[in-house]
Structure 1
Amino acid sequence: MSFEKKYKHSVDVKDLFFSYGGPPIIDHMDLQLDAGNRCILVGANGAGKTTLLKILAGKRMVPGAIKVLGQDAFLDGPVGITYLGTEWANNPVVKSDLSVEYLLKSMGSHRWPERTQVLLTVLDVDVKWRMHQISDGQRRRVQLAMGLLHPWELLLLDEVTVDLDVLARADFLNFLKVETEERGCTIVYATHIFDGLGDWATHIGHVADGRCLSMNKVDNFPAFEEIKLQHKQEGRVDSPLTTLCIKWLREDRDRLRNIKNVDPVTGLPHSKWDEMSDNMKKNGDKYYNYWKR
């Protein structure tokens, strides 16, 4: 299905380089995604996934033009980009004695009453909940409802389903799939939980060493089809996508083990993260007010 948009690519990253003054966190990465794409980013911890998502969200300035929705991600601050990450849970506001109804109204729920009701139903959120009395999983569902109230064109998700139970996650992913199919939205989703995503994603991106090693369309991905056929022949019920991702991650780990320097003092592998400055304020995130739109 094609969608009429004012831009050629929803995400257009070419030769992206980023570091904190030391070894690169992202090393000359290329990435293009179009309207309606649902992309899973697969990579080990430290591969550069979170940094990439924050750059696409306009939270970090980088040299060169990073185009999202046809505009510069940082300088233009395009409207229609939503970033949802795990750090929200550390905001003291979300654990204070406030009602969900109050928080949703602060996000403008009165502007989209029908959309609000859909999200409350999909995520099974009760507006009478008090934030200081609910579980981490319930709090995460509130975050998702708040974050998705405003209709978006590009959604950047960083491990935000980790606290959801199986049913809540399945309903949430189905909602996102409908959004991309009906409104031509684009999703980039970094996760380590792959169950249920094999038939959900349109693209699978493999990120390692700060580079996008491959970007594969699910409907034209021979290596993935081979794994699915093998699972079928062996009568396996586990996820073919999980099998593929574990294979990639194991190869990445083995490769990195062979190239890492060993710290002469500790005897442990010495990575690029060990060389980064403790003070990252001047190179860190652009200030982000969750309630400001």
Structure 2
Amino acid sequence: MVENKPLLTIQDLSVVYDNGKGIFDFTLRFSKGHFVALVGSNGAGKSTLMNTISGIQQPTRGTVEFNDHYINAQNPYNVLGFSPQSQVIDWYLSVLDNVLLGPLLAGTPSRQAKNLALSALELVGLKDKIHFSVDQLSGGQQQRVQIARAVAHNPSFYLLDEPTTGLDAESAEAFLQYLKKKTEEKECAVLISSHDLDLLENYCHDLIYMDDGRVVYNGPISKFLASNVSFQRYEIEYKGELSEQVLVELEKIALAVHQYNPLVIDIKTDKSVAAIISIVEKSASLVNIKSERLSLREKYLNMKGRG
């Protein structure tokens, strides 16, 4: 069936700048239901990838193709909702008119476009400011206007470059919850980048990890978190007190000691936790021990050599 075919296919894509930097040899596929986090250091190529998907940046080689089934021939951009990293706002228009441009440019009839714009403004918490000029808004509110314009026409593919920058925690959570619901109902696919890795981990299903213009990992976040970990974190509950000598011994064997009661400690994966237990039991009685899963942020920093 057509619905099982990818919504977007990227094949052997490279974008090479004059200085030799860019992105290289990307082959990716996105289908409805995919909620994908795009992570990497500044300069890794995330914005280049997104700008190329949107059509702003031309590839040096390779292709970016949307499945024709999802594209309206009269309004081809209806399929895409793009919020770039740089702010794109029409400063001479009201909040409502800024958002209204999204569905209008996507070919939506005027009356329906207004209803969609109002719904999008309600989603981002700005429905009470529809007649404000955008320069009357805070930076975070202006970011919400841009998000609302990108999503108002209910696109099939959301391309969101740092959309939560400047948003308060409540607004960011509400927006990602909205996207998660739409992907779970297979209404769309989402590719989103953000430096808030904890937020991405809570909502995204899959991960593309970029480094130096190349894909290092592409797959489920759960498998990324389980792979290539150089250390394991344990939480150890005990009765009694840890003596000064025990604390010294623990700090010698551990990569890091995060807290002491309960004891939360990182050790290399090639080390036995039994050594930690034997040290603890020199001055306290063991109650319970459990391993803790590393967060996406911790795993990412570990891979970058800063964990």
Per the alignment, in what secondary structure is the counterpart of residue 87 of structure 1? Answer: coil
Aligned to 1:31: 28
Aligned to 1:85: 84
CA contact (8 A) 1:30 1:212 kept: no
Count of aligned pairs: 241
Aligned to 1:67: 65
CA contact (8 A) 1:224 1:241 kept: no
Q: Considering fraction of residues, name the structure with more strand.
A: 2
CA contact (8 A) 1:15 1:30 kept: yes
Shift of 1:159: 0.9
CA contact (8 A) 1:44 1:249 kept: no
Aligned to 1:49: 46
**Is 1:175 aligned to residue 170 of structure 2?**
no
Q: Determine the C-alpha separation between the residues in 2 that align with 1:59 and 1:51.
A: 9
For residues 111-190 of structure 1, the aligned pairs below 5 Å read: 111-112=112-113, 115-125=116-126, 126-190=129-193
Per the alignment, in what secondary structure is the counterpart of residue 207 of structure 1? Answer: strand
Q: Percent identity?
A: 24
Per the alignment, in what secondary structure is the counterpart of residue 81 of structure 2? Answer: strand
Q: Determine the C-alpha separation between the residues in 2 that align with 1:195 and 1:222.
A: 13
Structure 1 length as normaliser, TM-score? 0.70
Q: Determine the C-alpha separation between the residues in 2 that align with 1:220 and 1:44.
A: 20
Aligned to 2:111: 110
Please, which runs of 5 or more residues in structure 2 have no aligned partner?
105-109, 237-263, 265-289
**Is 1:191 aligned to residue 194 of structure 2?**
yes
Please, which runs of 5 or more residues in structure 1 have no aligned partner?
255-293
Could you list the runs of 4 or more consecutive aligned residues of structure 1 that deviate by over 6 angstroms after TM superposition?
Answer: 224-227, 235-239
Aligned to 1:289: none
Per the alignment, in what secondary structure is the counterpart of residue 199 of structure 2? Answer: coil
Indicate the larger mover: 59-68 or 207-216: 59-68
Q: Determine the C-alpha separation between the residues in 2 that align with 1:188 and 1:138.
A: 22
Cα distance change of structure 1 residues 232 and 124 upon mapping to structure 2, 3 Å threshold: farther
Shift of 1:222: 5.4
Q: Determine the C-alpha separation between the residues in 1 that align with 2:173 and 2:227.
A: 22
Aligned to 1:249: 304
User: Greater CA radius of gyration, 1 or 2?
Assistant: 2
| Equivalent position amino acid for 2:25 in 1 | H
Cα distance change of structure 1 residues 132 and 79 upon mapping to structure 2, 3 Å threshold: closer
Shift of 1:232: 7.1
Aligned to 1:217: 220
| Equivalent position amino acid for 2:35 in 1 | R
Aligned equivalent of 2:11, options 7, 11, 14: 14
